Structure 1
Amino acid sequence: MTGSHCYCFSGIISIFFSLIIHTLSSTTPHFCLHHQREALLEFRDEFPIDELDPNPWNKNTTDCCLWKGVMCDDRSGQVISLNLADTSLNGSFKTNSSLFRLQYLRHLKLSYCNIQGEIPSSLGNLSRLTVIDLSHNNLVGEIPASIGNLKRLRHVELGANTLIGAIPSSLGILNQLRYLSLAANELTGEIPSSLGNLSSLLELRLSINHLVGQVPASIGNLNDLQVISLGQNTLNGTIPTSFANLTKLYHISLRSNNFTSTLPFNMSGFHNLEHFDVAANSFLGSFPKSLFTIPSLQVVYLDDNQFTGPIEFVNTSKSSSSPKLEILSLSSNIFIGLVPESISNFLNLGEINLCENNFNGPIPRSISKLVNLHDLNLANNNLKGQVSASLWRLTTVTLSNNFFSSFENPSEETVIQALDLNSNSFQGPFPHWVCNAKGLSFLDLSNNLFNGSIPLCLKNSIVSFSDLILRNNSFSGPLPDIFASATELRSLDVSRNHLEGNLPKSLMNCKSLQLVNMESNSIKDVFPTWLGSLPSLHVLILRSNEFHGTLHHHHVFVGFQSLRIIDISRNDFTGTLPPHCFSSWRGMTILREEDDPYMADIINDSVFYRNSMVMVIKGVELSFERIQQDFRAIDFSGNRIYGEIPESLSFLKELHLLNLSGNAFTSHIPRSLANLTKLETLDLSRNKLSGQIPRDLGELSSLSYMNFSSNLLRGPVPGSTQFQRQNCSSFSDNDRLFGLEEICGKIQVSPPTSQQHEQLSEPEEQLFNWGAAAIAYGPGVFCGLVIGHIFTSHYHKSWSKKNTIKGR
């Protein structure tokens, strides 16, 4: 090799290594700066955490740029990003937090960190920030106005906290902002018009607050806006006409406000729109036909408004309509007329909800063309005619409260999971095709004209049942013994039929059972003590049957630890109640916060079944569609039970209603009933009770109704306010009671002399010893759902999905 060639080659090698050295020096991260490291360590020490796994923040790890959630600039070593999302910091920001010494910080992400306290105004000193995410914490106080100092911000996420006060108008200065979410807080006041200056904004999420007033017209200046979510506030007025400028919107949610205007006449300009939700307002006007000409439209919620007139779809050719429409919900409006056949042109429809309107006529046959349809709700209309067998291929069908009279039987096995035919005019025998519905979970045939027997073949499908509701028909014969494999069954309501015979013992296998309602049949059996072994039984209704036998056995009420409502009234039970018969009823003794607010069996996140109940209150039968979680009731009225009222009733501290009327109870009224501090209704009428009315009952502030009539009571009626508010009839037919002048408005005979009064007085009774009683209680078992006043089953289809920060 010549010298010139060697020189050339060595030059190339030199240049090559120089490039490598330059590249390495420009890409290899520097160790973080000492003052940055110290600031991070001080920030760690502001919170009660031991370490940040998997890379602990401690002095033994020199390079803080390698710590969890820390990112440094490759050239300078300055900390530019801190992402500790999902780290339980469990503390509050300090006003002078060392965090604010990280002056080169661009990204700050501390979501789901359990941070409490206020957002310090010092945050406004981090002038290089482009991203702030403090969502899903426990932050309180106001959003500091100093946030307007952060001119480089592009992303602000403060949702799911408890922030209060007004939205700072200084946010309108942040002209580089592309994403703003303040959703799910406690913010008040109006939406500041300065937000209309955010010319780069793509998403505006202010839902689930307490904002008031009208939406400022300046929002129409945000020409690049793609998402606007203002749902669940108290906004009112009209939609600004300037919204027509927001042609890039693909998500609009104004749900649950007080808007009262009409929708824009021509909405076709929102040519990118996918999700449109204005449910739960007071929008007026006719069906917005132009909305359904948008090809990109996928979801429409117009529920719970005041839209009127017929619904019709125009320009429904595939090229100009909404071929992607998947959810159509028009419930709770004033729509009239037929459900148009043209609804089938939206071939991608999966959910249709038209309930609670005034639609009439038949179900359009064209619905059978919707091959993707799985959920249909036509409840509470004036629809009639025959139900097509094509509907049985759907997952959920709700046709309750209409005038349907018949249905076609399916030609093949159905895949239906929830079927509600409640309150129509169906008649004839039980539909045997249900026996082949292997996946059926919810069945409500109540309030129809079905007759004949409940078939044995139902045991083939009941394996998957959670709710079987056959209330108020004319079914007869015995309730078949078909429940051996019904381990998922939670609600069984066969009330108000003509059933007879005994209760099937196979119900013992229904370990998930929460409701048994046998009211108003002709069942002849003894009290089903064996039901006490069901761990989740909340409600037992045997009212108005031919149950009989004595109740004095000590084991008759053993178990029933989750029982909250029991009604065995209007039967032929006899015998005495054992003194400790209620001592195991934990469900009426304590109330747990985790109890569900209502009896609601949820299917596919959208189907709710609620039981209601008929009970005798103030001497009148009242029906309640649902009750709150804490209602507890005992109704033993209209039997032949005798002996003393058991002292163990005073264990049941959560009891709201106690009705022992129409029996043959004797002796005195226990003073220990005054321990029932939640009691609202007490009916002891039509017994053989003697002695005085305990004055302590007058201290029960919640007790609004009492009835002691038709007994052998004597002595003065207590003078407390609770007694003086009762009707005179509540004390009638007790010849030796006195002191009723103010209650009855009559002049009575002179009160007894002091000697007579002494003869009427009784020895002081000992209040029930709660300390000793507590020994009898073991750990309580609370499972499942809570019901309320029972007897009228109601199946309700709700399309109000749970809102999320990224949702409506």
Structure 2
Amino acid sequence: MQIMSCISYILLLCLISSTNAQHPTREALELTIGIGNGSKVSKSSKACNLPLKLNCQLPGTHLANQVLKFADQRLALIYPVIQKFKSLITSDPLGITQTWVGSDICSYKGFYCDNPPDNKSAIAVASIDFNGFQLSAPSLDGFLDQLPDIALFHANSNNFSGSLSPNIAKLRYLYELDISNNRFSGPFPDAVLNMPGLTFLDIRFNFFTGSVPSQIFTQNLDALFLNNNDLMIRLPENIGYTHIFYLTLANNKFNGPLPRTIFRAFSSLAEVLLLNDQLTGCIPYEIGLLKEAVVFDAGNNQLTGHLPLSIACMENLEQLNFAGNLLYGAVPEVVCELGKLVNLSLSDNYFIHVGPLCRILMERGALDVRNNCIPDLPFQRSVEDCANFFAYPRFCPRMWSYNYIPCPHFPYASLIPQVAPSP
């Protein structure tokens, strides 16, 4: 009974001492509990011999250790946003989030600070680079859209999922958005149409579905990467009015014919990737206007007709792929004479003839015409397969254009009938 009385007294003393504490950083009061002849209990008391020490934590001590001082109020505002997002991360194999501790947000791995445009003396998180971090989270909602000063957001090669919040349209400084190679789904993020400052959009290698608004091709973008999703659109004529320097549409469900204006859009591109879509119709002669193209890949579509002779004007072309289409006729000799061409893939079509220049490419392994209808070559389609294809006549509009070569200095131009193209 005396022991319990002593302990009760000490606990009361702790409470009184804590209540009267004036300095939150003051050390906790350590009391030695003892049993004696009714002597008072104090810090130095040895009246009780029970070997038990009680640490009384003074108020404010724990809180003081948790008070964070931020270099700028803008950082203080996004601290809880980051910590909430951190709590949602389900996998962090590289231990990235272990650095997301304390008030020095600018030292967190993947976070970069700078002066925001509206206040050059302020400090804010201006850039995030999570590329290759392998983080997993069910969504970016409540995180990306709550970073008001963000200008660049790169999150390539993670396992983020969900859809993009329409609230990202409120990010007034964001001009680069890369969420490629993740597990995002849902419709095309229309919010980007309301972001006039956006110049770089990369959503490739995700699971976005549905139609793509044609307005995206007239946005003020320098780069647009849409490939490897499940998106669809009939390529619009207004695609020719874009100034995009890097554009990839491959491995989707883009359909319809190649608009004549598409080659105005691609005129400055080094790589044009249209493979594994659902493109139909004939190839317009305007393909020859792609003077800068090094790679042109439209393999595995449903394009038909002849190869235009205008391809001979693509002087920088190194790789040309039309394999897996419905092309027929003769492989143009002028195309096989392109000086930089190292790979011409025309397999799985219905070509019926290759001339001597093209056969030289075949001997060098640069031309692949397997599985066509060329009578004297091995590895061709069966006679029955070829007969069934040609049993149905196929016509292309503007047939004259297949012989038109839009480069005036082409050495064989005078030998080919040329008709001025229609406007």
Shorter-chain TM band: 0.5 to 0.7
Is 1:108 the equivalent of 2:153?
yes
Task: Give, in whole Å, the separation in 2 of the partners of 1:302 and 1:86.
Answer: 36
TM normalised by structure 2 equals 0.65
Aligned partner (choices 247, 251, 254) of residue 204 of structure 1: 247
Q: Where do 1:140-159 residues align within 5 Å?
A: 140-159=185-204
Deviations along 1:55-111, one digit per CA (max 9) or x if unpaired, are 62444x32111111111115542212111123344333355x132132232221112
Farther-moved stretch of structure 1 (40-49 vs 213-222): 40-49
TM normalised by structure 1 equals 0.35
2:145 touches 2:165 (CA, 8 Å); kept in 1?
no
Q: Structure 1 pair 315/329, CA: closer, same or farther in 2 (3 Å)?
A: closer
Is 1:258 the equivalent of 2:297?
no
Aligned to 2:103: 62
Q: CA deviation at 1:334?
A: 1.5
Q: Structure 1 pair 166/112, CA: closer, same or farther in 2 (3 Å)?
A: same
Q: Where do 1:486-635 residues align within 5 Å?
A: none
Residue 89 of structure 2 aligns to a residue whose secondary structure is coil
Task: Give, in whole Å, the separation in 2 of the partners of 1:290 and 1:113.
Answer: 46
Task: Give, in whole Å, the separation in 2 of the partners of 1:88 and 1:310.
Answer: 49
The residue type paired with residue 330 of structure 1 is: V
Q: CA deviation at 1:287?
A: 1.2
Is 1:87 the equivalent of 2:133?
yes
Structural RMSD (CA):
2.9
Task: Give, in whole Å, the separation in 1 of the partners of 2:359 and 2:133.
Answer: 53
Q: Structure 1 pair 194/123, CA: closer, same or farther in 2 (3 Å)?
A: farther
Aligned partner (choices 87, 95, 99) of residue 45 of structure 1: 87
2:358 touches 2:367 (CA, 8 Å); kept in 1?
no
Deviations along 1:446-473, one digit per CA (max 9) or x if unpaired, are xxxxxxxxxxxxxxxxxxxxxxxxxxxx
Residue 266 of structure 1 aligns to a residue whose secondary structure is helix
1:41 touches 1:57 (CA, 8 Å); kept in 2?
no
Identity %: 23
Q: CA deviation at 1:159?
A: 1.3
Task: Give, in whole Å, the separation in 1 of the partners of 2:218 and 2:245.
Answer: 16
Q: Where do 1:598-677 residues align within 5 Å?
A: none
Aligned to 1:191: 235
Residue 35 of structure 1 aligns to a residue whose secondary structure is helix
Is 1:355 the equivalent of 2:369?
no
Q: CA deviation at 1:131?
A: 2.0
- Runs of 4+ in structure 1 deviating by more than 6 angstroms, as ranges, are none
Deviations along 1:511-554, one digit per CA (max 9) or x if unpaired, are xxxxxxxxxxxxxxxxxxxxxxxxxxxxxxxxxxxxxxxxxxxx
Aligned to 1:226: 270
1:53 touches 1:68 (CA, 8 Å); kept in 2?
no
Aligned to 1:174: 219
The residue type paired with residue 213 of structure 2 is: P
1:180 touches 1:204 (CA, 8 Å); kept in 2?
yes
Residue 119 of structure 1 aligns to a residue whose secondary structure is coil
Aligned to 1:73: 114
Q: CA deviation at 1:49?
A: 4.8
Task: Give, in whole Å, the separation in 2 of the partners of 1:179 and 1:50.
Answer: 30
Q: CA deviation at 1:261?
A: 1.7
The residue type paired with residue 85 of structure 1 is: N
Task: Give, in whole Å, the separation in 1 of the partners of 2:217 and 2:123.
Answer: 33
Task: Give, in whole Å, the separation in 1 of the partners of 2:188 and 2:257.
Answer: 21
The residue type paired with residue 44 of structure 1 is: K
Q: CA deviation at 1:331?
A: 0.7
Task: Give, in whole Å, the separation in 1 of the partners of 2:113 and 2:236.
Answer: 37
Aligned partner (choices 135, 149, 154) of residue 180 of structure 2: 135
Aligned partner (choices 288, 308, 316) of residue 332 of structure 2: 288
Aligned to 1:244: 288
Deviations along 1:175-194, one digit per CA (max 9) or x if unpaired, are 2x232221111112312333
Q: CA deviation at 1:152?
A: 3.0
Residue 190 of structure 1 aligns to a residue whose secondary structure is coil
The residue type paired with residue 170 of structure 1 is: Q
1:107 touches 1:131 (CA, 8 Å); kept in 2?
yes
Deviations along 1:450-504, one digit per CA (max 9) or x if unpaired, are xxxxxxxxxxxxxxxxxxxxxxxxxxxxxxxxxxxxxxxxxxxxxxxxxxxxxxx
Residue 151 of structure 1 aligns to a residue whose secondary structure is coil
Residue 56 of structure 1 aligns to a residue whose secondary structure is helix
Q: Structure 1 pair 48/202, CA: closer, same or farther in 2 (3 Å)?
A: same
Task: Give, in whole Å, the separation in 2 of the partners of 1:209 and 1:146.
Answer: 21
Q: CA deviation at 1:170?
A: 2.7
Task: Give, in whole Å, the separation in 1 of the partners of 2:239 and 2:153.
Answer: 23
Task: Give, in whole Å, the separation in 1 of the partners of 2:245 and 2:294.
Answer: 10
Aligned to 2:373: 334
Task: Give, in whole Å, the separation in 2 of the partners of 1:253 and 1:241.
Answer: 16
The residue type paired with residue 38 of structure 1 is: P
Task: Give, in whole Å, the separation in 1 of the partners of 2:174 and 2:287.
Answer: 31
1:152 touches 1:174 (CA, 8 Å); kept in 2?
no
Q: CA deviation at 1:51?
A: 9.1
Deviations along 1:741-793, one digit per CA (max 9) or x if unpaired, are xxxxxxxxxxxxxxxxxxxxxxxxxxxxxxxxxxxxxxxxxxxxxxxxxxxxx
2:271 touches 2:295 (CA, 8 Å); kept in 1?
yes
Q: CA deviation at 1:171?
A: 1.1
| Residue segments in structure 1 that go unaligned for 5+ positions in a row | 1-29, 317-321, 339-353, 359-808
1:33 touches 1:78 (CA, 8 Å); kept in 2?
yes
Task: Give, in whole Å, the separation in 1 of the partners of 2:199 and 2:339.
Answer: 31
Task: Give, in whole Å, the separation in 2 of the partners of 1:159 and 1:205.
Answer: 9
Q: CA deviation at 1:52?
A: 6.8
Aligned to 1:275: 319
Q: CA deviation at 1:280?
A: 0.4
| Residue segments in structure 2 that go unaligned for 5+ positions in a row | 1-70, 383-423
> Which structure is higher in helix share?
2
1:92 touches 1:118 (CA, 8 Å); kept in 2?
no
The residue type paired with residue 136 of structure 1 is: N
Task: Give, in whole Å, the separation in 1 of the partners of 2:187 and 2:219.
Answer: 18
1:145 touches 1:170 (CA, 8 Å); kept in 2?
no
